[in-house]
Structure 1
Amino acid sequence: MPHRLYLEQFGNIHALPVLHYRMEFAHLVRQAVELVQPDCIAIELPPTLEAPFLRGVRRLPEISVLTYDVSTASLLKGKVADGGAQSVYLLIEPADPLVEAARQALERDIPLHLIDIDLDDYPLHEEPVPDSYAVQRIGLAPYYREFAAAFASVAPDREDLRRERGMTFRLQQLSRQHQRVLLVCGMYHLARIKAFFPDPQAEPLAKVKREGVRLFNLHPASCREILGEFPFVNAVYEQRRGEFPPEPAGDGPSLRKRFHALELIAGGKQDIPETEALSLSIARSVRLVGCRGEMPDRQRIILRLFMEAARHFRQETGEPVHVWQKRAFFRFARNCALLDGLLLPDLFHLLSAARGCVDDNFAHAFFRLATFYPWQKETSDLPTISLDLADLWRQSRRIRFRPRERRRGKGLSRLAFLNRKREKGPGEWLEGFDNPSICSYPPEDLVIEDYGRFLKKKGAKQLSEEQCRVEPFTVSMLDGIDMRETLRNIHEGRIYVRQQERVKGGVGSVVVIFDEDRRGDRYPYLMTWLGEHAQESDMAFYATPPEDNIVGPGISRCEYGGFVLAYPPRRMLDVWHTGDYSFARSKSEVLLLAALDYSLEKHVVYVAARPPRSYFKQLAARFGRKIVYIPLGSLSPVRLKHLRVFHVLAGHDKRGIARDYVW
C-alpha cells in the first residue's frame, strides 16, 4: 500500500476521507482505485445532479460550472423572508477528489453512484482545517486522526445528520449489491457514517428531481480567481494524469519576439504566442514536481512556478531575479503562510511576496503564469459563464499590480504599455535592419552621460576623503572639527580636527561593469560608439545581441554587460579589435585598458562588483594614472537597473518613431 494512503474499512466499504478541491486528495483517489479495484464507486454528491455533473466530467480538462437556484430564505434558515433566489455553483475541475473519483469510474467503466441527499437549507460551513500539504509529508492516516480528534467535540447540525444517515442508507444498499465499494467523502462526515453503518437506516426524505440545473463552460478569465486550486496547480495535475509531455529543449520559448541573425538575413522570424510559451512552461514543470506515479509535491510546484516566472520576467524586461531576491521571496511567503496557519503559502501570499521582494513587473509575470489554464477556451459546446469571487465566496482579498510603464504627458493614458504598437504583419519590424548605420536613442544618451558625471563627482569625493588627514587639536582648527573621530575618542577628552589635502588631477574616464561575463557567451555584442557632439563622450561597451529582442521597426532592446565613457569625443578607435589590448583576460579588462589609454585626467573611475587585478594598478602608474574603485553594491540598484537597458536604432530616421516603442 502506498505509504500516504489510508482507508477506513467497515464491512465491504473502503472509505477514503478527503478535503474538497485539494490536489493531494485527488491523487489519493487514484491510488485508492488502484489498490481497492472496486466494483463500484460512491461519492458525496446528490443523484439529482448526476447527468449534468457527468457531462461536465467528460468535458475535462475543460472546466465546467454546474449551477442551480435555491431560495434565499431557505439558505439563511428563515432570517430573510423575501423568498428570493440565490444561485449555487459547483466547479468541476481536475484537482478535486470527487471529480477525480468520477473520472476514474468513467475511464475504467466502473459503476458510479452519487449517494448524498439534495437539501435546499444546508448552511454554509467554514471550518478551519489543517493544510493539505501535511498529507504529502506525514501521510493520510495521522492527518485524519488529528482531524477527527479536533472535530470530535463539535456537535453536527441537523442537516449534516440527515445527509449522513441518507448516505449510510444508500451505502448499505450498495454493500449488498457489490463486493468492494469505494466511498469518497468529506472527512467531517466519515466517522458518523461509519458509526451509523451497522444499524439499519430508513430511506431519507429528499428531492428525487431538481429543476433548473444548468451546466456552463467557465470563462478563461474567471479561471484566474475562483478555482479551488489555482490554475497552475490544476494544469500540472492534469498533465501528470496521462503521459508526460516531451521535455522542451533549451530554455524554452520567450514571451517576447526573438530574432536570430540568420533569420534577419533571410527575412524570417520566430514568433511564439504567449499562450504557447505559458503552456510549455507548465510542460517543463510536470516532470520536476515528482516521479511518475508519485503525489505531486506542492512545494516543488511553487518552486517551479517561481523559476518559470523568473525566466519569463528576464525575457520580458532583461532583468534577472537575483539569488537574494529568491531567498527573500520564499522567506516572506513562508512567514505569511505561518501567520494564516498554513504550511505553504497560497496564491495571495505568493503574489504579495513577488511584488514585495522583486517588483510589480515580476508579480504580473508570476500572476499570468500561475493563473494560466491552457485548455480553457472562450467558445465551447456549452454556453460560457463569467464568475468572480463575490459569486462563490463571502470573503476575498485583492492585490493590485502597477507594472512599470513609460512616463507620458499630462492628460494621456498612464497604461501606455497596454496599448503599445504591434506588428501589422509578420516580419514588418525587420524592414529597417537593412540599413548599415546604427545609432543610439538620445534620451538614453542624456541619462548615461548624466550618470557618468555623477560617478566622476563620487570618485572625486572619494579621493578627497582618502587624502583627508585627522589629528588632535593643538594650535589650529585646520579645516574644521572632525566630529566622528572626536566622539570615537571622547574618553581622551580631546578634540580632533581634519585637514583636507588638495587632490591633484581630475577624473577622466569612467568604467561601469555590471557583469564580467567570464564565460564570454552572455554578452557577445561588442561595439564602439563615437560622440555625436561636444557634450557627448565616446563609448565602448559589450551587451546582449540586438537581434534577440526586436521591439519596433528597426528598434532593438539590449542590455549592457559593461561600458566605458571617455571625454572629449571623436578620439576612440575600435577597442575590441586592436592588438594593444590583446593581453586582457576579459571584456571588462579591455574596457579598463581603454579607459586608462584615453583618459586625459589622472584618475579613472572603475565601478564593478570587485576591484581589478593588482597588475592594473601597476599599469596605471606607468601611464601616470590612478584607478578609483567604487563597489557596484554601493550604488542604487534601482538606478542601475534603469541604466542598464538601452536601445539600438537602425538609422537616424528611427529616432522620430522610437518614443512609441521604447518603454
Structure 2
Amino acid sequence: MLKIEKNFKNRTSILYFLPFFPSNLEITQNIIKLLAEVKPSAIAITLPFFIKDKWLLAVKSLPTISVLSLTYKTKENEYLIVEPLCPLVEATRYAIFSGVPIFFIDFPKEAQEEDLANFTPLPTYLIKDLEFTKYVDLTLSFFEEHLTEREKYIAEKILEISQKYDSMAIILPFYQVKGVIRALERASGLLYLPKNIPKEIEIYTLNLKSLREILSEPGYFQSTYEKNRKNLIENKNFVLDRITLYEEIFEKVRQKYFKETGTELSPKDLQVFGQFLRNLLLIKGQYVPDLYTLILAVRGIGGDEFAFWFWEIATFYEFQKEELSPFPIINLSPEDLRLPSKRLRISRKIKSIRSSLNFLQKFTTREERKIFKKGFTGKVICSFPPEDVVVETFGKKVMEKGLKVITENLRKIEPFTTSLKDGLDIRETIRKWFLDETPYVKEEPQAHAKAGSVVIIFEEDPDPLTGKERYPWNFTWHGEHHQESDMAFYSTDPKENVVGPGIAKAKYGGFMLTYPPMRVYDIWEDPYFDIATNKAERLLLAGIDYSLEKYIIYVAKKPPSNLAKKFASLQGKKVIFLPIGSFSKNFLEKIRVFHVLEGHHVRKYAHKYIKK
C-alpha cells in the first residue's frame, strides 16, 4: 500500500494506492485486509463508468462466476471476468457490504492493452514474508513512470472525487501507479467524455469447462478463498498460503489415485517428485510452481491418470451452479480473451464410449454400495476368471525370468574343440575373434531346470516399522483345473469394499502360487509353518514345502530370510530371489487388485461391475 496526502483546493485528502496484478491470491487477500483496516470514505477502481450497473449486478451474483461482454462499434469484443480472486471484484464486494461509495475511474478501451499489465517482476508469494507495503515499494522500483492519456484521465477522476471525501482507496495496476501520481501534480479538474463507448454490454455465466481454462487462479483457490473470505476480513493473522493449497490438492489426488488404482505413492516416489519439481523450477526460473509446472511434475511419478486428476481437482470451482444462474451460459476459451496458454497432451486409458454405455454399470450413490455390502456374506466365494488368467500368466513369466537367472549364473563358455554342446556363443566369439579367431560354445547344464512355486511379496504384513496389520484377510484356494495353480495369499478385507451384487474388491499384500493344483492345505492354519515371523515368510516357507521342483522363485523388496534359506536347504531346494523393482510398477499394481465373487453364478454378470 502506498499512502499519500494531497491538498486539493484547501482540502486535504488521504489517498491509499493499492496496486494489483490480475487476479492473484496473495494480492487480493491483502487488499481486502487493508480495506478493512483503513476503512476509506470512498473506493475507486480502474474500470470505465459505463459498465457500473452491469458490473455491480454481476458482482452481487457471486459466488457464481460471471463475465461481462462488451461489444464496440467496431464489432470488437472485450470480456471482463467477475471472479472472487480479482482485486477489482473484491474491492467492489467490500464497498457493497460496507456501504462505501464506489467510483469507476478508468479510461475506456481506445488502444491496445499495454504489455506491462502482466509484467510481474517479483513473485507475489514474497508478500508472505515481506508484507504487502514493503512488497509494493520493491515492486514499484522495477516500473518506470508510465504516463499516457489513460493515466491523466484517472488522475482527473481522483481529483474530482477527493474534493468530496477525506480518504479514498484506489485499486489500480502496478504499472499505472507512478504515472497517475505524476499526473495528479498537473491535474486541473477538466474532464471530457470518451468516444469509444460500447454499444452492447451483456452479462453471461461461464460454463464449467471455461472455468477450468480461463481463470487466472485455479478453481480450487477460488473456492477456498470464497469459503474463507469472512475469516480473512475479521482475522488479521489469517492468510491463505499458496503452497498449502497445492499440498491439499496433492493429498486429495493421492487419495483418489489410491482409491481408483490401488496404487499408493511410496516415500521414494515423493522424493523423486520433489527432485523433479525442484529441477523444473530452476529451469523455468520460478520461485514457486504454477499449476502447469506441478502437472508436469506429478505426471513423472503417477503417469497421465495422476496428472489428469490433479488438473481436474485443481481447476474445479464448486460454487458454479449453471442451473441457478439468471444469466445465459457462455463458453469462452483462452484465445477469446487473448490469454497466454500452454497445452499439455494427457493420454488417459479410457474405454470406448460404446462399451461403457452398453456394458459398464455406473454407480452414482453410496447407498447402492451399502445395499450390496449388506447382501455380501462371503460364505461361498470364487475368483473372477479374467483376473486368474492375468495372475497365472504373470506367474509363468516370473518363473521364466527366475530360471533365466539360474541359466546365466551357471552357464559355461569355452573354445570350440570337438562339440558344439548347447550352441555357439555369438557374443563371446565376436568379442575374441580379433585375437584368436576361435569360435566359442556355451554349456547350459541347468537349461531344463524348473520352478515349482512362485512367491510375490508386495508389502510385508504386519508392517515392520509400526507393527500394524494392513492385510487382515488370509486365505488359501485351489485351482479349478490343471492349468491353474493353488494359491495362498494375504490381502485387504473384501467385505470392506463391495462394488456390486455379490462382488467385492480387495488388494493383495502378497501371494504364493504352486503347481500342480489341488494339493495345498490351508497354510494359515497349518502349525508346521508357525516358525515364520510374518505372513511373507510364511508364504515363502509354504512355497518351498509344496514345491515339487528344486527351485522356488521369490519376488520381494528384501532377499529371503536365513530361516527360509535353511528351510529350503534341508529339503534340497533353492530360493531364487528377484527384486520386485525389476518389474513394472504399474503392472504390479494392476495385478494386486482383484475381485471376490459370491458364487459361480455371479460370473455371468460380474463384467458389468468390474472395470479393467
1:509, 1:596 within 8 Å by CA — same for their partners in 2? yes
Contact 1:167–1:193 (8 Å) recurs in 2: yes
Aligned partners of 1:463, 1:417: CA distance in 2, in Å? 48
> Which whole-Å deviations, capped at 9, do the CAs of 1:466-515 have from their partners, x for residues lacking one?
32356799999876669579969x99999997654447863111100111
CA contact (8 A) 2:381 2:596 kept: yes
The residue aligned with 1:650 is 598
**TM-score normalised per structure 1:** 0.80
* Structure 2 residue corresponding to 1:382, chosen from 326, 332, 336: 326
SS state at 1:13 partner: strand
Instruction: Within 5 Å, give how 1:473-492 maps onto structure 2.
Output: none
What is the rounded CA distance, in whole Å, between the counterparts of 1:172 and 1:463 in structure 2?
A: 89
**For structure 1, which segment, 28-37 or 373-382, has the greater mean C-alpha deviation from structure 2 after superposition?**
28-37
Question: Is 2:214 the counterpart of 1:226?
Answer: yes
Does structure 1 conserve the Cα–Cα contact (< 8 Å) formed by 2:160 and 2:189?
no
TM alignment of 1:196-595, pairs within 5 A: 196-206=183-193, 212-243=200-231, 293-333=237-277, 335-336=279-280, 342-389=286-333, 390-393=335-338, 395-406=340-351, 413=354, 420-422=361-363, 426=368, 429-430=372-373, 433-434=376-377, 436-469=379-412, 499-502=443-446, 506-517=450-461, 518=463, 519-595=467-543
Q: In the aligned structure 2, how far is the partner of 1:363 from the partner of 1:25?
A: 28
* Between 60-69 and 368-377, the greater mean CA deviation after superposition: 60-69
| Contact 1:482/1:498, CA 8 A, preserved across alignment | no
Q: How does 1:135-150 map onto structure 2 within 5 Å?
A: 135-140=127-132, 143-144=135-136, 147-150=139-142
Asked if 1 retains the 8 angstrom alpha-carbon contact of 2:33 and 2:236, the reply is no
Question: Aligned partners of 1:299 and 1:588: how far apart in 2?
Answer: 40
- Cα distance change on mapping 1:334 and 1:185 into 2, 3 Å: farther
The residue aligned with 1:133 is 125
Which 10-residue stretch deviates more, 383-392 or 428-437? 428-437
More displaced 10-residue stretch of structure 1: 97-106 or 396-405: 396-405
Amino acid at match of 1:220: L
C-alpha deviation, 1:533, in angstroms: 0.9
Deviation, structure 1 residue 445:
0.9
Does the 8 Å CA contact 1:405/1:416 hold for their aligned counterparts? no
Contact 2:2 2:136 in 1 (8 A): no
The residue type paired with residue 493 of structure 2 is P
The 3 A distance-change label for structure 1 pair 487 and 10 is farther
Alpha-carbon separation, structure 2, partners of 1:47 and 1:59: 20
Specify the alignment match of 1:100 in structure 2. Answer: 90
**Does 371-380 or 330-339 show the bigger shift?**
330-339
Corresponding residue for 2:10? none
Offset at 1:568?
1.3
**Unaligned 5+ runs, structure 2:** 7-13
The equivalent of 1:25 in structure 2 is 27
**Secondary structure at 1:522 match in 2:** coil
CA contact (8 A) 1:38 1:180 kept: yes
Separation of aligned partners in 2, 1:134 and 1:493: 71
Residues 423, 429 of structure 1: 8 Å contact kept: no
The 1-side partners of 2:360 and 2:390 are apart by 25
Query: In structure 1, how many angstroms separate the alpha carbons of the residues matched to 2:519 and 2:159?
Result: 95
Contact 2:478/2:485 (8 A) holds in 1: yes
Contact 1:21–1:96 at 8 Å: present in 2 too? yes
Q: What SS does structure 2 have at the residue aligned with 1:565? A: strand
Partner of 2:11: none
| Alpha-carbon distance between aligned partners in 1 of 2:154 and 2:374, rounded to the nearest angstrom | 70
Q: Give distance in 2, aligned partners of 1:642 and 1:360.
A: 16
Q: Per the alignment, do residues 417 and 539 of structure 1 end up closer, same or farther by CA in structure 2, a change over 3 Å counting?
A: farther
User: Structure 2: how far apart are the matches of 1:115 and 1:301?
Assistant: 34
Within a 5 Å distance, the mapping from 1:174-213 to structure 2 comes to 174-206=161-193, 212-213=200-201
Cα distance between partner residues in 2 of 1:13 and 1:440: 75
Note the C-alpha offset of 1:436: 2.7
- Which of 83, 87, 110 aligns to 1:121? It is 110
Moved more, 387-396 or 598-607: 387-396
**Change beyond 3 A, Cα 1:292–1:522:** farther
State the distance in 1 between where 2:429 and 2:565 align: 30
Asked if the contact 1:334/1:344 (under 8 Å) is kept, the reply is: no
Q: Decide whether aligned partners of structure 1 residues 205 and 503 sit closer, same or farther in structure 2, where only a CA change above 3 A counts.
A: same
User: What secondary structure, in the 3-state scheme, does the structure 2 residue paired with 1:551 have?
Assistant: strand
Identity of aligned residues (%): 33
Shift of 1:89: 1.7
Matched-pair contact (CA < 8 Å) for 1:513–1:588: yes
Q: What whole-Å deviation, never above 9, does each CA across 1:332-388 have from its counterpart, x for those lacking one?
A: 455555555543333333333333442222122212211211211122242242222
Indicate the residue corresponding to 2:57 in structure 1: 55
Amino acid at match of 1:350: L
State whether residues 62 and 376 of structure 1, in contact with CA within 8 Å, keep that contact through their aligned partners in structure 2. yes
> Which residue of 2 is the match for residue 64 of structure 1?
66
CA contact (8 A) 2:550 2:572 kept: yes
Q: 1:617 to 1:340 in 2, by over 3 A?
A: closer
Q: 2:612 aligned with 1:623, yes or no?
A: no
Q: 1:401 to 1:419 in 2, by over 3 A?
A: farther
SS in structure 1 at match of 2:336: helix
Give the structure-2-normalised TM-score. Answer: 0.86
Instruction: Give distance in 2, aligned partners of 1:314 and 1:171.
Output: 56
Distance 1:328 1:109 in 2: 52
Secondary structure of the 1:616 match is helix
Between the aligned partners of 1:338 and 1:439, the Cα distance in structure 2 is: 53
Cα deviation for residue 10 of structure 1 reads 4.4
Contact 2:486–2:516 (CA under 8 A) maintained in structure 1: yes
- Aligned-partner Cα distance in 2 for 1:628–1:465: 13
Partners of 1:505 and 1:330 lie apart in 2 by: 45
Task: Say whether the 8 Å CA contact 1:219–1:384 is kept in structure 2.
Answer: no
- 1:596 aligned residue: 544
Corresponding letter in the other structure for 1:9? I
Contact 1:165 1:193 in 2 (8 A): yes
Task: Give the paired residue count.
Answer: 590
Match of 1:152 in 2: 144
RMSD (Å), alpha carbons: 3.4
Between the aligned partners of 2:551 and 2:579, the Cα distance in structure 1 is: 16
Is the alpha carbon distance of 1:214 and 1:331 closer, same or farther for their aligned partners in structure 2, counting shifts above 3 Å?
Answer: farther
Hey, what does 2:46 align to over in structure 1? 44
Distance 1:112 1:579, change over 3 A: same
CA distance in 2: counterparts of 1:68 and 1:486, whole angstroms: 77
